[in-house]
Amino acid sequence: MLHQTENEERTYLNEVQGKLRAELEQINQKIDNYSKEILETKRYIYENLAQLDSAEKAANRTAVYDSVAFGEKAVREREKLEKLIQSPYFGRIDFIRTEEEQGNAFYIGVHAFADPATLRSVIFDWRAPVSSMFYDFETGPAFYKAPAGKIDGVMTLKRQYRIRQTQMEYMIESSLNIGDEILQKELSRNSDDKMKNIVATIQREQNAIIRNEAAKVLIIQGAAGSGKTSIALHRVAFLLYRFKDTLTSKNILIISPNKVFGNYISNVLPELGEENMSEIGFDDIAADMLGKKYRYQTFSEQVESLLADGDAETIARIEFKATNLFVEQLQSYLGSADKTCFVPTDLSFGNFSVSKGKLLLNYRALKKLPIKTRLRKIADDLIERHKRDTNQKMDPTVIRQIRSSIQKMFQFNDALTLYQNFYRSIGQEHLFRLIGKNAFEFCDVYPFLYTKIYFEGEEQEYKSIKHLLVDEMQDYTPIQYAVLAKLFSCKMTILGDSYQSVNPYSSSSAEKIQPYFLGCDCMELRRSYRSTIEITRFTQQILDNKKLIPIERHGSAPAITECQTPKEQLDKIRALIEQFRQSEHASLGIICKSQKQAEQLFEQLHTDEDTMALLDFGSSEFQNGIVVTSVHMSKGLEFDQVIIPDISDELYHTPLDRSLLYIACTRAMHQLDLTCCGRKTEFLQGC
């Protein structure tokens, strides 16, 4: 095969970059031409506006629109070419098809590129069918699935490259699975302020998830640091490539835990040549559906409330409404209310009348419609019948009376009274508590929305969505997934880790989610890549995830500093911050148990000259450097170094506290330091 030696590879790299630069020059010329065309057309329209008829005006406007569209497409191509010149490819496979004697070399990059002169593919997109072999096979027998069917053969060579800023830093002969040397190099690097693409180091089990195009709903259970969010985003990029004729980024929606997390992941899809998808949170869905009539506690407020005062009654209400049994009970109640709570009576207005039996038949015939819609349609049909029979308009007063009478035949006049009665029907009235006029505890928001959808129906706000991505699945209850199933009929990717719940009283697992979605596949990511093995072993003492497999990457052991006074502890934190400033690390996360604690510590630590940042529930951007935040806000993020202040037994002692401490520790990539004043938490007594 061609280009066997490193010198030959470097020569070939220069050839490829030469072709890329030539094409870039052509693209730049096209962009200049489009710009000139647009300016000339606009000038022509301006100078001759009075003489142009409507057809000529329309034709010129169309010409401008076309030039703009072609120009924008050319700009996107230019961006791809500029990136490819810097790093054209990261891998190569040589593959001989079974029916052929001689194989071909396939160079694999983030984007595809074909030689304009010959139309021969020079670089293959990492998502192309043939590229799958780079991730799935060692040298030897291999195959890939093409549109025409399965292609068998032998992979005779696999190489990995590190090309940055146009220069090849190294080339590795890789007869084994990806990872070994290059993966270790990548994992040892310092963190970035944005999540990056991982196309050069995708592992076999990750590739299986990315290229799963058959699952209606794919649930990914991934250990801390397994790359599940990154893999989910790469899956989105793959689906956009695979179904480019029917799927765009505008058809994809992500439900993310907060705006900071959304900002943190915002680079991945653009790096892969795709536009970013829209982003919302569960609180946004609730706000849209509840409108101004109802107020509610947010999930973040619920967690902070539990940290401040996790009383037994509140926890009991949360736990009760976080089970699959609760969903079943609510569904059963609504089905029963549907059948029994419509009690019709004979209706008569002047010479117009209808029997209760007829009304009941009409009600039952419309059973596929929401209750409120049914009642309105029954009234509308009666009014229309009267108009048809008498050939006269009905008096507006009588119309209102008919509508009111039909509405009153249903025992409950709105979704709230219907929902309140649910608790009376099961003898658990104490488990429902409003926190103000029409103001819900968070644990009641989605049960009420489910009831509201059943009673009133749902607006088709999300009908354009063809794929839904749900991150941090463990923080959402079964009833929330039941609502999602009502709102979204599209394909979904749902991901999370049951060990990383910020509220274990209401956490979910893949098993709890499955009942609400047909055609559900579950896949696991067990290997953790984020933390050194020393940090991973430390975190396993807090919560032992027996399925987690740590990557063999070593570093310093986590350190716990026990202090005698709060001042001594604060001085230790300042010393660790100074140590960070002198290190090569790019990011330091000071992760507190609660937002209140984070705010207090930030006030103690930062100065006007300091670049230290506070991440709170109102933040929208993540950046490297020194960050003070809560465990809740740190979810999904990672830092080179992490400091966890005050891990005392007084602060960390409940099941919720254990979960929070585990999450905080698993944010650390290279270094983990913990401090406490007084007796350290029982969760770390063995450390």
Q: Say whether pLDDT at 181 is over 70.
A: no
pTM comes to: 0.89
Report pLDDT for 404. Answer: 92
Q: Read off the pLDDT of each residue in 11-27 and give the average, rounded to a whole number.
A: 94
Q: Say whether pLDDT at 677 is over 80.
A: yes
| The residue type at 639 | F
Q: Are 197 and 271 in contact (CB under 8 A)?
A: yes
Sign of the dihedral defined by the CA atoms of residues 517, 521, 522, 523, in that order: negative
Q: Read off the pLDDT of each residue in 610-635 and give the average, rounded to a whole number.
A: 91
- Distance from C-alpha of 469 to C-alpha of 483, rounded to nearest angstrom: 15
Q: Read off the pLDDT of each residue in 424-432 and give the average, rounded to a whole number.
A: 95
Which residues are bridge partners to 155 per DSSP? 95, 140
pLDDT in tens, 377-416: 999 998 888 787 777 777 788 888 889 999 999 999 999 9
Q: Read off the pLDDT of each residue in 650-655 and give the average, rounded to a whole number.
A: 92
Name the percent of the chain lying above pLDDT 90.
69
Report pLDDT for 609. Answer: 65
pLDDT in tens, 595-621: 999 999 999 998 866 789 999 988 988
| The residue type at 490 | C
Report pLDDT for 68. Answer: 76
Report pLDDT for 287. Answer: 93
Q: Which three-class secondary structure state does DSSP give residue 142? A: strand
Name the percent of the chain lying above pLDDT 70.
97
Q: Say whether pLDDT at 458 is over 70.
A: yes
Sign of the dihedral defined by the CA atoms of residues 675, 679, 683, 684, in that order: positive
pLDDT in tens, 110-125: 999 999 989 999 999 9
Q: Which three-class secondary structure state does DSSP give residue 579? A: helix
Q: What is the DSSP string of 257-311?
A: S-HHHHHHTTTHHHHTT-PPPEEE-HHHHHHHHHTTT-EE--HHHHHHHHHHH--
Mean pLDDT of the chain: 90
Helix residue spans in 224-275 (DSSP H): 228-242, 259-264, 268-271
- Distance from C-alpha of 189 to C-alpha of 269, rounded to nearest angstrom: 21
Torsion angles phi and psi, residue 649, rounded to 5:
-65, -30
Report pLDDT for 128. Answer: 96
Q: Say whether pLDDT at 199 is over 60.
A: yes
Least confident of 69-83, 182-196, 219-233: 182-196
Q: Say whether pLDDT at 188 is over 70.
A: no
- Distance from C-alpha of 623 to C-alpha of 131, rounded to nearest angstrom: 34
- Distance from C-alpha of 552 to C-alpha of 636, rounded to nearest angstrom: 22
Instruction: Grade residue 149 by pLDDT with cuts at 50, 70 and 90.
Output: very high
Strands 91-97 and 104-109: antiparallel
Q: What is the CA 594 to chain-centroid distance, rounded?
A: 24
Instruction: Grade residue 5 by pLDDT with cuts at 50, 70 and 90.
Output: confident
Report pLDDT for 187. Answer: 63
- Distance from C-alpha of 429 to C-alpha of 420, rounded to nearest angstrom: 8
Report pLDDT for 581. Answer: 93
| Measured CA distances, 125 to 114, 318, 341, 407, 606 (Å) | 11, 47, 59, 60, 46
Report pLDDT for 519. Answer: 83
- Distance from C-alpha of 335 to C-alpha of 337, rounded to nearest angstrom: 6
Q: Say whether pLDDT at 33 is over 70.
A: yes
Q: Say whether pLDDT at 184 is over 70.
A: no
> How many of the other CB atoms lie within 10 Å of CB of 248?
14
Q: Say whether pLDDT at 179 is over 60.
A: no
Q: 619: burial class by Cβ within 10 Å (0-12, 13-18, 19+)? A: middle
Q: Are 525 and 227 in contact (CB under 8 A)?
A: yes
Q: Are 209 and 220 in contact (CB under 8 A)?
A: yes
Report pLDDT for 539. Answer: 96
Least confident of 28-37, 41-50, 459-468, 675-684: 41-50
Q: How many CA atoms lie within 13 A of 661 on its CB side?
A: 29
pLDDT in tens, 64-103: 777 777 778 888 888 999 999 999 999 999 999 998 988 8
Q: Say whether pLDDT at 565 is over 80.
A: yes
Report pLDDT for 478. Answer: 96
Tokens 């396993």 sit at which residue? 540
Q: Are 265 and 229 in contact (CB under 8 A)?
A: yes
Which residues are bridge partners to 295 per DSSP? 439
Q: Say whether pLDDT at 180 is over 60.
A: no
Tokens, residue 499: 């060990």
Report pLDDT for 175. Answer: 58
Q: Read off the pLDDT of each residue in 505-524 and give the average, rounded to a whole number.
A: 92
Torsion angles phi and psi, residue 595, rounded to 5:
-65, -40
**Residue of 138, 112, 153 whose CA lies nearest to 23:** 112
The residues, ordered by sequence, that sit 6+ positions from 56 with a Cβ below 8 Å of its Cβ are: none
Report pLDDT for 185. Answer: 64
Tokens 């991150």 sit at which residue? 471
